[in-house]
Structure 1
Amino acid sequence: MTTSTFGGDGQGNFGNYGGSHLPPHLVEPMAEVAAAYEQARQDPTFMAEYQDVLKRYVGRPSMLYLAERLTAHCGGARIYLKREDLNHTGSHKINHCLGEVLLARRMGKKKVIAETGAGSHGVALATAATFLGLECEIHMGAVDVEKQHPNVVRMQMLGATVVSVTEGEATLKEAVDSAFTVYANHADEYLFCIGSVVGPHPYPTMVRDFQSVIGREARAQFLEAEGRLPHAAVACVGGGSNSMGLFSAFLDDADVQLHGVEPAGEGVESGRHAATMTKGTTGVLHGMATRVLQAHDGEPAPVHSIASGLDYPGVGPQHVFLCEQGRVNYAYADDQETLDAFTTLTRLEGIIPALESAHAVAHGMKLARELGPDAAILVNLSGRGDKDVDYVAEVLGRR
């Protein structure tokens, strides 16, 4: 669990961001979740069980891997990958899903409900629910259902009910809206298991805490491998869970540069992107005050990314706070740079990254060239690309 001075006030506020901006009927259910999580995180028995399932079921700790051929290709800093893609279910999402489902069981809930974009969170939650004996319902935009069909099949095979959402842009934002609507009417039965460091308190804090295992492991592994901390740590940012998990261990290490990489889509000036930190303005979305990509009428703007897990018009409130504090640099990679990084890592290292993670790889390759051979950097490979291979083949075929 993070104790950094950048970690917020413990009540869900990160400077002027975060909090709980909720309709009256959701105030009590969210307060119940916040109280339950506060009790659970201070309960040694709960935390011991959580650590145990991470080890014996997920396969933690995940590997730190020196990508030697990628390093040689870039001709600069040594590039290390934190291999979250090797976790059971194939991404970092299982880290917080197991924590949330354990919490649901502790609260006496029988069902969990959530949104998903690329499907990684949905698969991880369905897996955790099956493992711990709860029912699971996943809402997914119809566009993403088509792009990420293998993950839809996986969720259904795991026993989850998958709801295809056709409203609006039919992507991640609409999936969140749909799942929240069902939860609001059945809060006594369900625990809403948000898939990132977004939403009302306690979710930005709770998901960050469950994901902080990434940073703790990576910090110790890097010290062992290099005898020093990395010059830079890099992770992709949609809602921002994998990046907050990585960054949490380095926030107070001023000599470690932290880089969050957003999806620039077809270009940040094109209107076809999801670069919230770069182009967003302050607003309220899904129960939190944060930075939001907004249309002229104040509604969330349509967004685009080649990576379904990043096409969200908001971002975790702690990210906005860290940006304003100058602690994290927020860059972006467009669809073409992401595809190039995807194919480069695949061909050089035999590692197929998730398209989400390929954004971080793209920026990591740039940094490696800039920093030079005396430096070493850490890139969080947050997921594997099995889910993306058909879509990437289609896109590359069209191009």
Structure 2
Amino acid sequence: MGCLVSTPKDTGGIRRRPGNIGEVSVFVPGLRIPKPVDFSQALGDCLSKSLVERLSALRTRIVVMAGQEAPTITRTRRRTATQHGGSTLADLLQALEDYLPVLLGLVKDGSPLQHKVQFVWINQEDDNEETAMFSAWYEVLSVLHLMAMLSLSQANLLLLPRISADGYQPKVSEENRRTCIDVFLKAAGYLDCAVRQVLPQFPSELRRKLPVDLAEGVLRALCLQALGQGVDIQLGLAIDSTKATLAVKRRLACEMVKYWQQAQDNIMNLPLSNGWGEKHRLFTKWKYIEAKAAAYYYHGLILDEGNTEKSHGMAVAALQAADEYLKESKKACEAFNLAVPLSRNPPLWGTTKFLSEKIPKDTSSKVRINRDLYSYEKIIETAPTLPDFALALKPEEYQLSIVDASWNEENTNKG
């Protein structure tokens, strides 16, 4: 099942990679691009002309749009951003949504038609420039992955700070932030569906031959990234709210640590060595460290509310850990931005801006106060363990579409 062809990276440079992707709030490891397919040659004797033409038209639209727009989508330009994240992204996402129910007819009830068409996609994170498979499930998996990457691209555009109405501090509107949480959950839903519903359709031998872009670990890591960044937005909204307690903020920060730790664990042993792959690994590492800075900060503030010498000592240790993780996260951020393709941070805003200002200030203040109250030896402690909270944010449930009605009247030759 599913003969495979992989093209090594030294066979002609079909993979276009930007040298600089601009401002990054949400990492997208490039967009895998489909190459043209001749459905009529593969399916002309099996399906009606109208259905073959429909498959061809729907997929050709995606090939053209993705080929034209991928280079610009991976270079985040403010002028492409709209209230909903860019019309190009929405149009391409809609084209994929239109294609999927028709495509699923090829795999309906285990149809042998699923092995008749060779689908070819250009990779981004894998060493092989492209991967071709006689497998319609490979096409479904690639479509879901692209839908998720477009959603993450949309989120990145939504989270680029704009100059505010007062012309002073760049900021991201509350509306955009709340919209972004929904977009993250959609992206996570596409990836969760890919892992739960599509990957199990691959025999183990063929599954091992999938490009690393579509490896289970990468799909899970991207899903967890989407959820982790969704919690990051929730934390920012909590910071802005006068009603959110320290306990709420600590819980969100601790959950964020778990999402990023799991994301890092999923890609730790994968061969992500080229440009996009290495940048993916560095982004996950950076965000994991940054999340720990936030979690230790809020944990320290809560411990400091205690009335004992021990709790105050633990509070100082937690705040000092937060300060160290903040410094480490800045180095990790720099390493991420310097990895090819180059990138840069948007102007500081939200959680990052708040914590980059508050952590050094509050740590210095608490250390000074407690040194005045207690002996120096009792302050320097190992950072206390962070509390363990169940993860609350889940992917939006996404089920594969019902097979398009045009297949109901097909008298296919399944021989």
Q: Work out whether the TM-score is over 0.5.
A: no
Bigger Cα Rg: 2
The structure with the greater share of residues assigned to strand is 1
The structure with the greater share of residues assigned to helix is 2
TM-score, normalization by structure 2: 0.25
